[in-house]
Chains A and B, each alone.
Chain A
Amino acid sequence: MLRRFLLPMWAFVFRDFHLTRRYFSWVLVFTFYAIVNAATIALIGVAQGDFRLTLTLVLGALLWSYLSAMYQEIANSIAYERWEGTLEYTFMAPVSRLVHLLGVSLFATFYSVVRTAVILLGLALFVDLNLQGANLLGVLVVLLVGSLAFMGLGLMAAILPVMSPENGAQATNILQGILLLVSGIYYPVSVLPAWVQPLAYLSPATYALEASRKLMGIQHPASSPEGLVGAPLSAVVPELLVLLLMGLAFIPLGLLVFSLAERWAKRTGKLKRTG
């Protein structure tokens, strides 16, 4: 168990931690940009003098920051290996793809949590956030459950750099952009054109946001700038169930799609650095 699963899984956490450490100046730049981006969005609500709008925007910016960081870490892990030329060595190690991708996802979760906490602290410099009464623990539960579905999506996106050495990494950004558009991160899904709205219900971010808004008490009539009336976790059981089902479906589906792509790459010679 230790030699076959835990040590190999830990190897990916070890590698990604040291890569993050060695590329720390990049991490700082990207985090700074994420803070500025979140602040500029949140200040739209402040300018409107509308605390509900401000909180909606802050929640959207933080939740998207977390979910997109996790998606990117997983989806780009293969692209990064191709860039470094290490993909063949990782793929010829006696490690199951489940263990490989679980290791990558474990670090991605840790990294995304820390990054989101730093962005929240940065946001506090620009926006006066009063979260008293919000069910923050509930939001954390939603985030963790929602992470499973995003891991699955990341796994599916990670096949793109396997299949196309030239354009795969860019294609993962297109998928991420579609999720940002359809999930109603900063606006209700109802404002989307009718033909786009069905796509919103395929995105786990839609359910994670709906649940988090209720838990924060953003739309509760009794909430005010002095205090929020967050819903109990029991009020978001339907959203949690959908997120859980999505996670249970997307992760095995992601692994299946990944193994098919790997087999195809081994038949066509696409694992080679230059493709």
Chain B
Amino acid sequence: MWAIEVKNLSKVFRKTTFGRRQEEWALKGVSFQVGVGETYALLGPNGSGKSTLIRILSTLLLPDAGRVHILGHPLPQEERKVREKIGRVSVDAAFYKKLSPQENLLFAAQLYGLSPREAEARAMAILERLGLETRRFGDPLEEMSRGMQQKVAIARALLIRPPLLLLDEPTTGLDPKSRRDVQAFLEELRREEGTTILLTTHDMVEAERLAHRLGFLARGQLVAEGTAEELKRLAGALDLEEAFIRLTGEGLQEEAHAP
């Protein structure tokens, strides 16, 4: 059984401007699998379809075509079972900013049926491991730095010990220390709990460090996939960035038409 199995997945966004109907393909026939316990990184520039793909896997978006199975459960038919087994961290740490980390995490934990005591103990352990000063656990999140907010977001995703973690650019905008803390924690999580991780990132070094396999996404299509070494060899490139440019025809920082 695959942790993630995606076959011919397509998503199009339609909008009408001045009576003209426009279509923007966010994903076009994407297929890939991620094994249980594997870390898979999706690399692509803005607008390449990474976030759309994560949203579909998170049950927040319905595809127009294709099939998705998460840990053996088909989507959208068994979305409740899928929701019980996934944690998600997005690029923007979305929280009730006036509430403290403690209040935000307890809310999230109770939504998943965890008792407040159980949730608090687990949240404290994760936040301490991520280097967050726990004396600030009761301060409003709006008074905390982006790095601290992102660490709380990671703690929220891990509260339920999900077998599958969907990380959408989790380290974007973090300072180097916070970025290293998060990366080390993800490695530890994979090693100790066997968590499957799907990661989207712009950061080639991060992708190479964390992922067993990588996929290059460009203009909604999966252009190539394999280990970092396989991709470099396939492109005849010295590093991953060069391999990306050669195989996709575009740079990672390029702004494509955002879906």
A residues adjacent to B (C-beta < 8 A): 2-4, 7-8, 10-11, 14-15, 18-19, 22-23, 84-86, 88-95, 263, 266-269, 271-273
Is the CB–CB distance between A92 and B97 below 8 Å?
no
Interface string of B82-119 (1 = CB under 8 A from A): 01101010101011111100010011101111110000
Cβ of B62 under 8 Å from chain A: yes
Q: Which of A3, A8, A18, A88 contacts B94 (CB 8 A)?
A: A88
Is the CB–CB distance between A85 and B94 below 8 Å?
yes
Is the CB–CB distance between B96 and A84 below 8 Å?
yes
Q: Which of A11, A19, A84 contacts B111 (CB 8 A)?
A: A11
Distance of A168 Cα from B79 Cα, bound (Å):
27
Main SS class of interface, B: loop
Q: Which 3 A-B pairs have the closest CB atoms?
A: A3-B113, A11-B110, A85-B94
Is the CB–CB distance between A88 and B60 below 8 Å?
yes
- Across the A-B interface, how many residue pairs have beta carbons closer than 8 Å? 91
8 pairs, A vs B, C-beta closer than 8 Å: A3-B113, A11-B111, A84-B97, A92-B88, A94-B80, A269-B13, A269-B55, A273-B92
B residues adjacent to A (C-beta < 8 A): 13-14, 52, 55, 58-62, 80, 83-84, 86, 88, 90, 92, 94-99, 103, 106-108, 110-115, 140, 156, 259
Q: Known interface pairs A22-B140, A92-B88, A94-B80. Does A15 touch B96 (Cβ–Cβ under 8 Å)? A: yes
Chain A residues, CB < 8 A from B14: 268
Question: From B114, which residue of chain A is reached at the shortest CB distance?
Answer: A7
- Of the candidates A10, A19, A23, A92, the one having the most CB atoms from chain B within 10 angstroms of its own CB is A92
Distance of A15 Cα from B113 Cα, bound (Å):
15
Further contacts, 12 of them, CB under 8 A, given A7-B111, A263-B62? A7-B115, A8-B111, A15-B107, A18-B99, A18-B103, A89-B156, A92-B58, A92-B60, A92-B83, A92-B86, A94-B83, A267-B62
Q: Known interface pairs A19-B96, A94-B80. Does A266 touch B60 (Cβ–Cβ under 8 Å)? A: yes
Distance of A89 Cα from B107 Cα, bound (Å):
11
Q: Which of A84, A91, A92 contacts B95 (CB 8 A)?
A: A84
Is the CB–CB distance between A271 and B60 below 8 Å?
yes
Chain B residues, CB < 8 A from A92: 58-60, 83, 86, 88
Question: From B90, which residue of chain A is reached at the shortest CB distance?
Answer: A88
Is the CB–CB distance between B108 and A89 below 8 Å?
yes
Q: Known interface pairs A22-B99, A22-B140. Does A273 touch B60 (Cβ–Cβ under 8 Å)? A: no
Chain A residues, CB < 8 A from B86: 92
* B173 CB, min distance to chain A CBs, angstroms: 15
Q: Known interface pairs A4-B113, A92-B88, A93-B83. Does A273 touch B107 (Cβ–Cβ under 8 Å)? A: no
Is the CB–CB distance between A23 and B98 below 8 Å?
yes
